[in-house]
Structure 1
Amino acid sequence: MKSVFRSDYYTEKEIVKHFALNKKTSELIEEQINYENPDLKLNIQEILLNGIQIRVINEKINPPFVVEVEHDFPFMKMHFEIEGNSKYTPKNNKSLAVDIPDGHYNLFFLPKVKGTLTYNSPVRKSVEINFTKDYLKRVFGEAFSEASSSYGEALKKDIPFLMWQQSKPITPILHSIIQDIINCKFEDSIKKIYLESKVTEILTILFNYLKNKSSFETNIEEEDYLKIIEAGKIIEENLKNPPTIPELSIITGINQCKLKQNFKRVYRKPVFSYITDLRMEKAKKLISERGFTISEASYEIGYKNPQHFTAAFKRKYNYLPSQLKKVANF
């Protein structure tokens, strides 16, 4: 499996990369890739499992950064653009254009990749998960066609597929799983099992979306959609003291009724539930990864009373936040 990248931004002008994605292996293979010149500073943590390739990319560039790309294998990918943006423009009829803005994601299948990648942000952080048909069949077995819905049908017919015509915001639950992948501290076989389970968890969530896609479709005008995305970012940046719906309405310039309706369509939950989910996920990480006390985590995410936080956490996860301390100290 070979990929070719061509760009005037590369010192060599052309970089050829060989992958062993379709090679059956019981081992986990890791590689750190670093590349630097005056226009590009790139770090890639690449992890190869059995039929899965995970790439955690940190990149600083001099935009616009344009790369000609070509793969000699079918491309099955989940792409999460945590920071920055990515745009693929095809040069053949076996591909589709894929545009993933800041904080968005998509799932796609491209039988043949030959086109242009454009990055317009000076800083990028993304997680890309590539996988094979054999991996999908191994994990989902006989239920694969039913589980994968229209995606599985596209694989059968060898036609390009894009889960969302307009890439969707990374939801709190997906963001949490991605962070689990990035921050995984396990080693060797345990790390392999853990990462495979996380990839399978993401695919299960996305296939469920596909199966019930009609209920998730937004049908929102572009201008209103961008305002809702802005609202989501404002909430994320002000979790300790998030704006009220009236305040958010004024800031984004969208009336309260439309704000509440469209927010639920885009993020698949009401504003208050979205805030609670983000707060609880942040609290989990503060306690388990950074050693915060229950009171400290409670205050950091905007709860004045730790008991109120503990009750909300228990309702959300069905266990007490104090149990995170026990796991962290295990």
Structure 2
Amino acid sequence: MKKINSISEFLEYTLRKNQFKCVKHEANCKVYINKAKEEYIEYSSKDKYYLGIANYKVAKDFSISFTNPSKIFKFGIVFDGTTSFKINDVEGHFTPSAYFTFEEGIKGIQKFSEGSHHHGMEITIFKDYLDEVCKRFNCPCVDNFHLKVNTPYPYLPKEVVIQLQKILSLHNNGLLNPMRLEANILDCLGIFFHEFMNNKEQKNKSISTPTIINIGNRKVSLSDKDIKAIEKAYEILTKRMNEPITILELSDMVYLNEQKLKAGFKAIYKLTIHQYTTSLRMSVAANLLTTTNLELSEIANYIGYYHTNNFIAAFKKFYKETPSKFRAKLNTDKAR
């Protein structure tokens, strides 16, 4: 098993194992192509930020043992693919979802399975640059928000999702220059800081897995078994994003009563079950709108809506505009 000690080493080894070669290197962008003509795109600014855009299938099984002493803030969207990992002795896996995390002194093992499809984008912000931004705009340091270190939070503010889609659209249209990328990254950070500062739960106490939840007027304790059941429910919802599952069905699948499942899920993941599945579906839909020419009916069917009108209504409620306007808005630069 290969041992890695930095982000750059991790990327270099992963690309080599998947048979990628750099075919283009200009300004802050590198383009990698493998034998299957799949792409990995890297945008970076030294000691500031790193953006990776991936869309490929893993060539063969391999594992990486890694340590990274750096302090970094990461956020992104996994559109497709599953990767198992073990971080600081805690096992888990990345699945289709939006997420953010603050890492420091991280170490663990990550496993890649042959044939699995890795499709997503991730932005890494280095701590020194984050502190510089905070100082420049007179914002509290990210440390003040008491984020639980080395813990992926499985959601993003929808405004951040929109910014990520804009970045992806600019890239697809060949218009993602260093200035526009950094402007979009700063927009994302501004949205995060606004959310952190205005969320009393995040502002006044650590975000961590609770042991006590409120169900009506009662305080109920979550056992380790309950938490595992809720985590299993999250896994099922993610894997079956395009399949309608009722709360009752999900409750039966994880052997946890409905009230505790709903309250526990919201306490742990900061979203209701409905909010999480909607957020995931809309993130995938937004990606398909900006990266493919699929008809709205095809996109609706892909994310589990039997009727296109229901999808359009849900998308408009989430993004405040119709899918057609969203697609046209993000592709305006291409028409120019």
Contact 2:75 2:123 in 1 (8 A): yes
Contact residue 81 and residue 100 of structure 1 kept, 8 A: no
One-letter identity of the residue aligned with 1:185: N
Q: Find the counterpart in structure 1 of residue 22 from structure 2.
A: none
Unaligned runs of 5+ in 1: 11-26, 37-41, 90-96, 152-160
- CA distance 1:196–1:224, shift in 2 (3 Å): farther
| Counterpart-to-counterpart distance in 2, 1:307 and 1:63 | 44
1:218 to 192, 201, 209: 209
Q: CA–CA distance in 2 between the matches of 1:251 and 1:308?
A: 27
After TM superposition, the structure 1 = structure 2 runs for residues 1-330 of structure 1, keeping only pairs within 5 Å, are 28-32=27-31, 45-49=41-45, 51-56=48-53, 62-67=61-66, 74-78=70-74, 82=78, 83-87=82-86, 101-103=93-95, 105-110=100-105, 117-122=108-113, 125=118, 127=122, 129-131=124-126, 133-134=128-129, 136-138=131-133, 141-144=136-139, 146=140, 148-150=142-144, 163-164=148-149, 166-171=151-156, 173=158, 184-187=171-174, 190-207=176-193, 210-211=196-197, 212=199, 213=202, 214=205, 216-220=207-211, 221-327=223-329, 328=331, 330=335
The Cα of 1:81 is off from its aligned counterpart by: 9.0
Quote the Cα distance in structure 1 between the aligned partners of 2:259 and 2:131: 42
TM-score, length-scaled by structure 1:
0.64
Instruction: Evaluate the alpha carbon distance shift between residue 43 and residue 259 of structure 1 in structure 2; reply closer, same or farther with a 3 A threshold.
Output: same
Which residue in 1 is equivalent to 2:19? none
Is the CA contact 1:78–1:130 (under 8 Å) kept in the aligned structure 2? yes
* Contact 2:148–2:207 (8 Å) recurs in 1: no
Compute the TM-score of the two structures, normalised by the length of structure 2.
0.63
Q: Return 5+ residue gaps in structure 2 as ranges.
A: 15-25, 212-222
- What residue identity is the alignment partner of 2:174? E
Contact conserved, 1:209 with 1:216, CA < 8 A, in 2?
no
Task: Say if 1:47 and 1:54, in contact at 8 Å, map to a contact too.
Answer: yes
| Alpha carbons 1:44, 1:56 under 8 Å: kept | yes
CA distance, structure 2, for counterparts of residue 79 and residue 317 of structure 1: 19
**Matched position secondary structure for 1:243:** coil
Shift of 1:244: 0.3
Cα distance in structure 2, aligned partners of 1:134 and 1:322:
37
- Name the amino acid aligned to 2:242: K
Query: Using the alignment, how far apart are the partners of 2:128 and 2:273 within structure 1?
Result: 37
Q: What percent of counterpart residues are identical?
A: 20
- Contact 2:41–2:52 (Cα < 8 Å) also in 1: yes
Assess, with a 3 A threshold, how the Cα gap between structure 1 residues 217 and 29 changes in structure 2: closer, same or farther.
same
| Matched position secondary structure for 2:94 | coil
Greater CA drift, 53-62 or 266-275: 53-62
